[in-house]
Amino acid sequence: MDRNSDSGRAGATRRAFLSASAATAVAVPLLSAATAASASALPRSEPDAGLRRLLGEIDPARIEATITRLVQFGTRHTSSSQTDPVRGIGAATAWVQAQMEAIAATSNGRMTVQRQSFTQPVSPNIPVPTVITNVIATLPGTASPERFYVITGHLDSRVTDVTDFTSDAPGADDDGSGVAVVLELARLFATREFPGTLVFATVDGEEQGLYGSGFMAAQMKAAGADVQGMFSNDIVGASQAFDGTRPDPFSVRLFVEGVPAADTAAEISLIEEVGGENDGSTHQLARFVTAAAPVALTGMNIRVIWRRDRYLRGSDHVSFQAQGYPAARITEPRENFNHEHRNVEVIDGVDYGDRLEYVDFKYTARVAKVNAAALWSLATSPATPKNVQIHVTPPVGFAGINDTVLSWNANPETDLAGYEVVTRETSAPDWTDAIAVGNVTSVTLDIAKDNLQFGVRAVDQAGHRSPVGFPVTVTT
């Protein structure tokens, strides 16, 4: 696509001016027509050298050891024994907590570990009141600890009957692989510092109804936590489906919701009216991740799927979406349902069950690299701009206005360089162009808002760019 062919975005007659005071300046400079016309191809932040070093430290052997140990607990069913020291969810939880505490001991006192337990009352797939425990390691941010970035894997496992808590349920892929990613990244991030806060959690009760993550997300919301990104790593261990289809060891799926789950009917109606169905905060998170974790860096192609999850299914990211947080699911390219939610058995020569031999530990390590690149970039970059608005009220007596008027709250970072307004065709999957507008909190552009999508992102002095804040339409 020729980015200079659209008269709505280019040409010497385009003007732009700033219409609110700069966050730190005493005067507002006027952008010339030439400056406004020079919307550049979207600048990308280069990976930090420190990130490259961390990615090189991700260890497939450690991931293998973690998944192997989890399988050895026999079953990790939510309703299995809480007290048996060898078998069941209680033993597995204690082991994970010990691993997290050992990791936290390397952080010079910065990382904390919480055993978050609650009693789930009788509920679907929970026949008796059951204690559910999440293990949560938190690495507070050094500059803006109020913003959180979360990754989870679910510790519990299951077989064909979701209430069967006695049969062996190895859960190697679902979700020993996700837990292994969480532990490996907690180990590597614990010895480093970041502006934003990072959370590494294993959650329980996923197979019964997302109970552990539902509690965790609700607790974070009640505490006022500003979760700006969350990733559920669920079934991230198999690079092939073992069903005759071609292996796909260098790709991973990223599921993102369309219309936000937490929006009201009025908010959804407005989204539909302005064509914002593909611009919720989770979509912006996915766009950020694909830029932050390219195949050249991680060895993995990220296949973004604009769907909350697989057909009529869900994982722990859904719990965070329900609280209004941007959250996505990371999962392998093609599942084999003989090896998922099945008893361990052989029927007519066909092997069933979620067994260790079907996990590719090097593949899981590459999935960990995608997570690491995303978390590093999110926690290092400025926060997503808040309260981004597009103002559409025309002057009295006029039916409309072609100018695009945007405003947002000032970011809190002390090293902020300014902001960029990003644009794209409404049919384009990702942002294509950017206009640097300076360290200001509003801008008026002589670009017809009816033809494009607009967003705002923050840029710090090192060139790190935040996820895009998509504007809410306001008429006042």
Structure tokens belonging to residue 423 = 């644009």
Q: pLDDT tens digit string along 304-361?
A: 999 999 999 999 999 999 999 999 999 999 999 999 999 999 999 999 999 999 999 9
Among the listed residues 9, 14, 20, 16, the one whose alpha carbon sits nearest the alpha carbon of residue 31: 16
- What is the mean pLDDT of the segment spanning 102-116? 98
All structural domains of the chain = 16-45+385-474 (2.60.40.10), 49-380 (3.40.630.10)
Would you say 154 and 213 are in contact if contact means Cβ atoms under 8 Å apart? yes
Q: pLDDT tens digit string along 355-407?
A: 999 999 999 999 999 999 999 999 999 999 999 999 998 888 888 888 999 99
The rounded distance, in Å, linking the Cα atoms of 216 and 149 is 13
Residues 100, 192, 214, 334: what is their CA dihedral angle, to the nearest 10 degrees? -90
Cα–Cα distances in angstroms (integers) from residue 456 to residues 383, 436, 468, in the given order: 11, 10, 5
Q: Which residues of 271-310 are buried (b: 16+ CB within 10 A; e: fewer)?
A: beebebebbbbbbbbbbbbbbbbbeebbbbebebeeebbe
Q: Provide the edge-to-edge strand list for the sheet that holds 404-407.
A: 16-17, 442-445, 404-407, 389-391, 472-474
Structure tokens belonging to residue 446 = 């002589």
Assess whether pLDDT exceeds 70 at residue 97.
Answer: yes
The rounded distance, in Å, linking the Cα atoms of 232 and 406 is 33
Cα–Cα distances in angstroms (integers) from residue 239 to residues 252, 263, 278, 370, 416, in the given order: 9, 36, 29, 15, 41
> What is the model's pLDDT at position 28?
34
Extended beta strands in 101-204, E state: 112-120, 130-139, 147-154, 197-203
Q: How confident is the model at residue 31 (pLDDT cuts 50, 70, 90)?
A: very low
The rounded distance, in Å, linking the Cα atoms of 341 and 310 is 15
Residue 47 gets which letter from DSSP?
Answer: P
**What's the full length of the chain, in residues?**
476
Residue 180 gets which letter from DSSP?
Answer: H
Residue 183 gets which letter from DSSP?
Answer: H
Q: How confident is the model at residue 32 (pLDDT cuts 50, 70, 90)?
A: very low
Would you say 312 and 216 are in contact if contact means Cβ atoms under 8 Å apart? no
Cα–Cα distances in angstroms (integers) from residue 157 to residues 115, 128, 134, 251, in the given order: 19, 18, 14, 25
Q: What percent of the chain has pLDDT over 70?
A: 92
Would you say 66 and 184 are in contact if contact means Cβ atoms under 8 Å apart? yes
Residue matched to tokens 């991740």? 289
Q: What percent of the chain has pLDDT over 90?
A: 87
Structure tokens belonging to residue 465 = 């760019």
Structure tokens belonging to residue 202 = 């294993």
Assess whether pLDDT exceeds 60 at residue 10.
Answer: no
Among the listed residues 355, 378, 357, the one whose alpha carbon sits nearest the alpha carbon of residue 151: 378
The rounded distance, in Å, linking the Cα atoms of 12 and 15 is 8
Q: Provide the edge-to-edge strand list for the sheet that holds 452-460.
A: 40-41, 433-438, 416-425, 452-460
Q: pLDDT tens digit string along 217-234?
A: 999 999 999 999 999 999
Task: Report pTM.
Answer: 0.92
Would you say 253 and 367 are in contact if contact means Cβ atoms under 8 Å apart? no
- What is the mean pLDDT of the segment spanning 80-104? 98
- What is the mean pLDDT of the segment spanning 142-167? 97
Close Cβ partners of 266 (under 8 Å, ≥ 6 residues apart): none
